[in-house]
Amino acid sequence: MRSGKFGLSMGYLAAIVVVGVTVVPLLFVALGGFRTTAQLNTDPAGLPGPWVFDNYASVLGSSAFWTFLGNSALIAVIATALAVGLGSMAGYALSRYQFKGREAFYTLFTLGLLFPLGVATLPLYLWLRQLGLLETFWGVAIPEAAFSLPVTIVILRPFMHAIPGEIEDAAVLDGTTRLGFFWRILLPLSTPALTTVAVLAFVTSWNAYLLPLLVFNDAGHFTLPLGVASFQSQYSQDTARVLAFTALSAIPALAFFVLAERRIVGGLTGSVKG
């Protein structure tokens, strides 16, 4: 009813503007990687002409890019596995066991939502130093998992709580222990919620900058965000190569997003809407 012709064209206009503002910087980076620094200097907003593949080839041929990529992936996988593994166990205990102090434990975890990692990084660094975890992947992955726990539990608990008790009764009658029920029935039934929290934990870890910045000194341990920033300052004279490196670093996140868009958007909006 409200979508008259005028409204619809305004909608398209808004869409074009938003897409333009979003996409142009990404195109600048991706296309810039196919130019030379000289081309970029004389005409920053021009198109590649002729197309140059050296920048991308040299980044893909260097071990640095693949090292950063591998480090990021390894850390994100460890952090996600820890957060989802321990979070689902805690979510099970907090949703399907009756015990004194249950709500207090739950509130404690929800309080964690108020302590984003950024605030605690410096003390965390000192603590990791004491534990001897500096320059290790665990030193980044474990705190990231710990800070992902609150969101994980907050999403998983209501989901697990909503699974009908009859299913559990039936499982117990069939002789399953409660832990067996958790492992063989509850976890498979919780797959949608588990995917959401896994995606959230993974993206958070993948994009983290501050904690790896403090924990890693050795460029061999750098994650992609660290690598991109250091590559930029290292090759500041070679803009084209920095652009190629940046474009390639953006691809995994964008690809992951394309694959998991529903989970990411649904997870964020769904959990906010309640």
Partner 1 sequence: MTTATTPVRTPERASAPAVTARKHRPGLRRRLELALLLGPALLLFFGFVLVPIGIAAFYSVFNWNGFGPLDDFVGFKNYSDAFGGTVFQSAIVHNLIIAGLSIVVQLPLSIGLALLLNRKLRGRAVLRALVFAPYVLSEAITAVIWSLMLQPNGFADQTLRAAGLGGLVHNWLADPGIVLYTMFAVITWKYIGFGIILLLAGLQGVPAELREAAALDGASAWQTTRHVVLPLLGPTIRIWIFLSVIGSLQLFDVVWIMTTGGPANASTTMATYLIDHGFKRYEFGFGSAVAVILFVICFVFALLYQRFALRRDTQGALTRMVG
Contacts of partner 1 in 68-87 (CB under 8 A): 82, 86-87
Q: Closest by alpha carbon to 212, among 157, 137, 265?
A: 137
Exposed, middle or buried: residue 1 (CB in 10 Å: 0-12, 13-18, 19+)?
A: exposed
Q: Binding string to partner 1 for residues 172 to 191, with x set by CB under 8 A, is what?
A: -xxxxxxxx-xxx-------
d(CA 46, CA 61): 26
Rank residues 3 and 63 by Cβ distance to partner 1 and give the closer one.
3
Q: Are the CB atoms for 228 and 245 separated by under 8 Å?
A: yes
Window contacting partner 1 (CB under 8 A); options: 57-65, 151-159, 161-169, 186-194:
151-159
Window contacting partner 1 (CB under 8 A); options: 55-63, 101-109, 162-170, 187-195:
101-109
Q: Which one-letter amino acid corresponds to residue 96? A: R
* Residue 104 near partner 1 by CB under 8 A: no
Work out which of 97, 104, 165, 188 binds partner 1, going by CB under 8 A. 97
Number of H helices, E strands in the chain: 14, 0
Helix (H) or strand (E) holding 246: helix 239-273
* Residue 218 near partner 1 by CB under 8 A: no
Rank residues 53 and 115 by Cβ distance to partner 1 and give the closer one.
115
* Residue 198 near partner 1 by CB under 8 A: no
Rank residues 63 and 237 by Cβ distance to partner 1 and give the closer one.
237
* Residue 195 near partner 1 by CB under 8 A: no
Q: Are the CB atoms for 232 and 242 separated by under 8 Å?
A: yes
Least Å from the CB of residue 204 to partner 1: 8
Looking up tokens 């998992």, which residue turns up? 145
**Segment 4 to 43, residues that bind partner 1, using CB under 8 A:** 7-8, 10-15, 18-19, 21-23, 25-26, 28-29, 32, 43
**Segment 230 to 269, residues that bind partner 1, using CB under 8 A:** 232, 239, 242-243, 246, 249-250, 253-254, 256-258, 261, 264-265, 267-269
* Residue 166 near partner 1 by CB under 8 A: no
Which tokens in the block code for residue 25? Answer: 């910087």
Looking up tokens 């309640």, which residue turns up? 274
Rank residues 80 and 249 by Cβ distance to partner 1 and give the closer one.
249
d(CA 156, CA 101): 19
d(CA 255, CA 193): 21
Question: Total residues at the site for partner 1 (CB under 8 A)?
Answer: 111
Q: Closest by alpha carbon to 266, among 211, 200, 191?
A: 200
Least Å from the CB of residue 191 to partner 1: 19
